Each structure stands twice: as structure tokens, then as C-alpha cells.
Structure 1
Amino acid sequence: MTIIVTGGDGYIGWPAALRIATRTDDRVLAVDNFARRDWVEEVGSVSAVPVGWMDERIEAAEEVHGVTNLSFVQGDLAEKSFVEELLTVHEPDVIVHAAAQPSAPYSQINGERANYTQHNNMQATRNLLWGLEEHDLNDTHFIETTTTGVYGAPEFPIPEGGAVMENQGERDDVPFPAMAGSWYHLTKSHDAANMRLAHSQFDIPISDVRTAITYGTETEETRGDDRLKTRFDFDYYFGTVGHRFAAQAVAGYPVTVYGKGEQRKPFISLEDAVEGLAELALADPDDRPDDLTVYNQVTRAISIVEIAETIADVGDEFELDVDVEHFENPRDEDETHKMEIENDRYMDLIGEQAQDFEGGVRDIFGTLTQYDDTIEAHEDRFLPGVLEE
């Protein structure tokens, strides 16, 4: 069996490929074009954690974990010719598609970046789906990390997948409407729709894994050697809220909460996100769903103010003097929105939560305090700035 992990150089893609490879003797092929490194450099930032190139990482995986079935190929999934060659040569049984331009702020900078984000993300997914059909690989399990951002912020509890629509006394199950709030998030709404169409037309088994905001620096496998670490972005464009707050604390900045900060967002640890992808990738073909299945890859919703206060509390353990400051909110948003999101299907997949947010923050500080010089050298990237054209 062959398992392809796209975005194999990325924050989630690399540790996912590593975990899958440690749990099977089947071939695992990581695919990436290293574009994430270029995007972060473009906005004037850098990963706080130094990340090796793939040959170095794969060598370390063999030395530390005895992995001999993990390999890498560089290429651009938005180029149909590359996807054609990839599928012809490797004929995958499973594809874990974690490759994308993942930043909402980056996609909002201007029309050029919005166009790039939508073309890059949707073209890659379409190339893979159509490639499976055109290469008679319709039994390949296609697993994509989309995002909980496709749901927006509805007032009702978010279902794990579709919704029920009623009109004139008749009811039917329908796909959840695209309520995304950025040009990036909308790419994943389109991907979800295209995957549903591909399943309907091509009968490809599909798992739509709607990934929440992910926190943490480590998984069980990456702890073994510095060469196995995954990237950690902390800038305004590519750093998620929890990661930015933690980096601000390490740099001696106050953690800034806009308004009340009581709105809740969906979160999951890197450890728990990787576990679900590995479970899906290694599922016995006879046991996995043949249908299109949606998983809300989230363990719980956390408020922005709780994130800030947890970072301040854990910071004390690392002798960091962390202040939490509230500022007038420049955004038009409900500062008290209590998101509720169903996740029974995903929790059944992973069994139980392996790392809570407090534990994730301890990991983050344990890592970032080793690289405080890197963060302080780029502290001007906590806020948006003038970008290179």
C-alpha cells in the first residue's frame, strides 16, 4: 500500500506523515513545494523553531524511530502535469491532502493574494480528484484537512457535517452552507463542495476533516530529536491566535485581547490532530466509510480571554511576567459569541483527548524559550506591516 501526504513540509503535514510512517510498513510519500517557507519569508518573518529540509528530517526519522518507509518528492500540486506523474508513478491507496495556503490574513492582503490563494488551493484539490478518476484510482481514500472556518459563526450548534433544511413542510439533509469569512476559508468551502461532487460522480471514498485552530509544538514522534521538529509561526499573517499570544509573552509583550474576548473558537492540539489523520490513513479499507464523511477535528471551544489567561498562568511556571491587556475591538464581531460544535464522530476516531490547551501551552513555552532571540528579532511581525511586492 502507498500513502501520500501532501503538505508534507507543513505544520500538520510533517508530523502526520511521520506518525503514519512509524505505524505501518507501507510506503509513505510526503509531497510539498516548500511554498509555506516562501510565504512566511515574504511577510518578513520566520519559523521560531528551526526546521530542517526533508532529507535531514527523513534521515533523523530513520535514526530515531527506525523509519525506512518514508520518502519525499518536491512538486506543485497546482500543476496538473506534476499530479499526473505523481499518480502514475505511485498509484496511492490513500491521499492525506494537507497542502494549502492556510492564512486568512494573507489571503486578505490584496486581490493578488486572494487570487493566488483561491487558485492554489482549489486547483490542487481539483487536480487530485480528477487525477484519481482519470487514473482509475477511484478506490483511493481521499482525506482532506479543510477547516471549521467553513461554518462561520452561526448562533446554533454546528453539526458534524450537513444540516437539515425545511421548506413548505418538507425536510431534507443538505450540505452545510458556505459561511466562510475570508478568501482562504472560502477555498475550503469550495473544496468541500468539489469533494462532494467528486464522490457523487466518481464514487471516491472521501473524509472531509474540518480542522480547528491547532496549537502546540510537539507530537510523540517529534520529541525525539530537534531535526524532527515541525514549524512554528508567530507572525500576524501565519501565526494562530494562541501561538501569537505565546510568542508575545516570550518577547515580553503584553497579551492583547480585543474587547471582552469572550467569543469562543474551536481548538485542537497538534497531537490530537495528527492522531485523527493517522487513524483515517491507516484504516482498513473494509472498515472505513465508503461514503463522504465529515469530521469536526476539534476537541473543544475556548474563549480568547481564556487563551490569554492560560498563557499568563503557565508563563509564571517559566518565569515569564505576562500581562493581559484589553483594548477596544477594531473588528465588527460579537465579543460574547458562544460557539458550540459537535465532534462525536471525531472523538470516536481518536478515542480521547491526548493534550488539553494548558498542556499545549507548556509545550509551546518549553520550545519557544529556547528560541526567544528569533522571536525578539522579528517582534515587529506581531502586527501587519508593509510587505515586499
Structure 2
Amino acid sequence: MTVLLTGADGYVGWPTALRLADQLDERVVCVDNLGRREWVEQVGSVSAVPVDSPADRFAARENLSFVEGDLADRDVVAGLLDVHEPDTVLHLAAQPSAPYAGINGERALYTQRNNVSCALNLLHGLHEAGLDDTHFVETTTTGVYGAPGFPIPEGGAVMENDGERDHVPFPAMGGSWYHQTKAFDAGNMRLAAADFDLDVSDVRTAIVYGTRTPETDDTGLETRFDFDYYFGTVVNRFCAQAVAGYPITVYGKGEQRKPMVSLEDTVESLVRLTERGHAGESGTVDVYNQVTRPVAIVELAETIADVAAEYDIDAEVKHYENPRDEDESHKMEIDNDRFIDLVGGQHQTLEDGIHDVFGSLVDHRDRIEAHEDRFLPGVLVDE
């Protein structure tokens, strides 16, 4: 088996690459344009956990190979598919930040062009290369659902009009320019599955927390950990704030619940899906809600403060006026039976994941404190 893993230099991509390399007998071809490193630098921040150069990283396993390439370039994609003929494309590459995409029109346009082009080039590239039997897996986001006032199904929905009912794709209700790119991708994957008879899996990823998997515990194999306003997920950012002695910044009441999943469960499910293959009929899209449970933001902050105390850190939870237009009482009910079956049950709880984060970050306190002004939005370095 040959796996083409895109976004392999990223927070989720790197531990996924390591686990694939350890569990597969064949090659894992890793592709990345190293954009995440550049974007984080643009916003004046760094990874709290220092990471090695790509050349050093991808030399860690004999069956890992690294290609620096831009998937928005059709010729790059065509060359990759022609040379490697992957059995599975695991597509994790994207500009993943809603706040970054929302800085201005230039970055919104860049995010949409980049993300949609990458996925569309891969889908058409597989068909044009005659690789219609390749399993195409993309991590989109639970953010495509928005915040509806009813339980979110794992995939489509039933719509009724004028007495007639049908099963239809869930409407795109993403609340950011970034989330809309993943809604576009979901629509394009559905078209590609139907038109090209491709086997497609859409893994809708929740907010990922954590710093470690068993593969990243060795020195030099750590994954990146972003904590700034633009690229740090809420769990990771709150933990970094506590380590730096900065108040944990809860917007508004913080009673709204957000879907979450650990880094360990995220990686394990992607590897299992790669090994198992497409579960549905040929030419269809399988949808997985990659979430273990929704958590209220204020509950999250208080849990982090409690765990911080075990590390002799006195973390203060402070509420600030919410700059976002959102329902602060939204409960986020979301079906995840298909995902839980895929991953084999939850492997890491929120509390254990937070312990892992503190275990990693306390050794890099100075690095975080030097960039604590990046916890909140500010002027970009390149402007």
C-alpha cells in the first residue's frame, strides 16, 4: 500500500505520518508546502514546542518520504499521482484558521483559493490519472454545520417540503471564510464520487487538543503546538495562557458547547480509516463526525485551571466581552456513532489530554511568555 499524506508537516499531519509509517509495510509519501510555519511567523508567533526542520523530521522513518510541493498547482499534483500511484490519499493540507482567514479580504481570498484548489486538484487528478480505485479521505471540519438548534446528524439530513421527504446533504452553515472552504470541499467530494465513481470519506474534525501521541514522545519527533489567537485551538491556547501566568480568556458567559476530540483519537481514527478503506458503496461519500464530546467553554476553562493547580500553576479564569456573534447558550448536540465505531471508543479523555499539554508546555514556559502578546488579536508582523 502507498499512502499520499498531505499536510504532513502539520499539528495532526506529523503524528499521523509517524503512526502510518510504523503500522504500514509500504511507503508513506508526505507532502507539504510548509505554509503553516510561514503563517504562524506572519502573525508574530512560534510553536511552543520547537520542531525540527522537515529534512530532519522525515528522516525519522525509512518508509517516510517528503516532497515539498504546492497542491494548488495542478502540475505538482499530476506529477505526484503519476509517480506514486497511491492506494489512499489522506488529505490534511489546508489553511486551517478561521481567525487568520478573517483578518482581511486578501487572506479570505487566499484561504478559499488555496483550500478549494488543493482538494479539487487532487480529486480531478485521481480521475485523470486513472486512479479511480484510490480511496480519497479528507479532514474537513464540524464547523461546516454551523450551530443549528437541533441534533446534527453524521452526514446528511432529511428534508421535507410539500408533503415529500428526501435525504439530502446537510446545508453549509459555516460561520467563517475558512469553514466555507470545507463546505465547498464537501460538495466537490460529493460531485467527484458521483461523476468519477470515487470512494470518498469526509472526516469532519472537531477542535483538536493535546500535544502527544506515543510516536512523538521521542526527542526530535514532537509535533508543533500553536497557542496564538490565530492558530491555537481554544484548549491549547487556554493551557498556554495558564502556563504563562496569563488569565484564561473566556468570551462572554462561555456556556456554548464546542465539539472536541483528542490528538490521539484524531490520529488513531485516520490510520484505522486508511487501513480499513472505504466502508460504503463504490462512488459514495462516507461522513464521520470526528468528535468525542461537546464541552462548554467555561467548563473547559475551569477544568484547565484545576489541572494547572496540580502543576503549581495558579490559573485565573476571566470573562471578557464576546467579540463574536454567536449563541452563547448553544448546546451543540452532534451524532458520532460512526466515528466512535471507527476509532474503537474514546482513547483519551479531555482531562488526560490537558495533563499531556501541561506536561509538554511547562518546559517551554519562557518561549510562551515571550509571545504572550499573541494570545489576543493584534497587528501582523508583515503589515
Q: Normalising to structure 2: TM-score of the pair? A: 0.98
Aligned to 2:149: 155
Distance 1:240 1:29 in 2: 27
Alignment partner of 1:21 is 2:21: yes
Instruction: Tell me the CA shift for residue 179 of structure 1.
Output: 0.1
CA offsets per residue over residues 17-42 of structure 1, 9 Å max, x none? Answer: 11111111111111001011000000
Distance 1:141 1:332 in 2: 38
Instruction: Tell me the CA shift for residue 284 of structure 1.
Output: 5.2
Aligned to 2:167: 173
1:323-362 superposed matches below 5 A? 323-362=316-355
The answer to whether the 8 Å contact 1:2/1:26 transfers is yes
What is the aligned residue count?
Answer: 381
The one-letter amino acid paired with 2:325 is: D
SS of the residue corresponding to residue 58 of structure 2 reads helix
Aligned to 1:246: 239
1:7-46 superposed matches below 5 A? 7-46=7-46
The one-letter amino acid paired with 1:162 is: G
Aligned to 2:303: 310
Distance 2:277 2:171 in 1: 32
CA offsets per residue over residues 106-160 of structure 1, 9 Å max, x none? Answer: 0001110000000000000010000001000011000000000000000100000
SS of the residue corresponding to residue 24 of structure 2 reads coil
Aligned to 1:293: 286
Aligned to 2:4: 4
Distance 2:102 2:359 in 1: 32
Aligned to 1:146: 140
Distance 1:39 1:143 in 2: 25
Stretch moving more, 175-184 or 333-342: 333-342
The answer to whether the 8 Å contact 1:49/1:232 transfers is yes
The one-letter amino acid paired with 1:331 is: R
Instruction: Tell me the CA shift for residue 55 of structure 1.
Output: 2.5
- Equivalent residue for 1:107, pick from 87, 101, 107: 101
Q: Identity across aligned pairs (percent)? A: 66
The answer to whether the 8 Å contact 2:157/2:168 transfers is yes
Instruction: Tell me the CA shift for residue 258 of structure 1.
Output: 1.8
- Equivalent residue for 2:115, pick from 121, 129, 154: 121
In structure 1, list runs of 5 or more residues that go unmatched. 63-67
RMSD: 1.1
In structure 2, list runs of 5 or more residues that go unmatched. none
Instruction: Tell me the CA shift for residue 327 of structure 1.
Output: 2.4
- Equivalent residue for 2:268, pick from 244, 255, 275: 275
SS of the residue corresponding to residue 210 of structure 1 reads strand
Aligned to 1:135: 129
Aligned to 1:235: 228
Aligned to 1:54: 54
Instruction: Tell me the CA shift for residue 259 of structure 1.
Output: 1.9
The answer to whether the 8 Å contact 2:48/2:361 transfers is yes
Q: Normalising to structure 1: TM-score of the pair? A: 0.96
Stretch moving more, 309-318 or 46-55: 46-55
CA offsets per residue over residues 10-63 of structure 1, 9 Å max, x none? Answer: 00111111111111111111100101100000010010011112231233x34x
| Cα 1:284–1:99 shift into 2, 3 Å | closer
The answer to whether the 8 Å contact 2:229/2:375 transfers is yes
The answer to whether the 8 Å contact 1:262/1:303 transfers is yes
Aligned to 1:65: none
Alignment partner of 1:203 is 2:197: yes
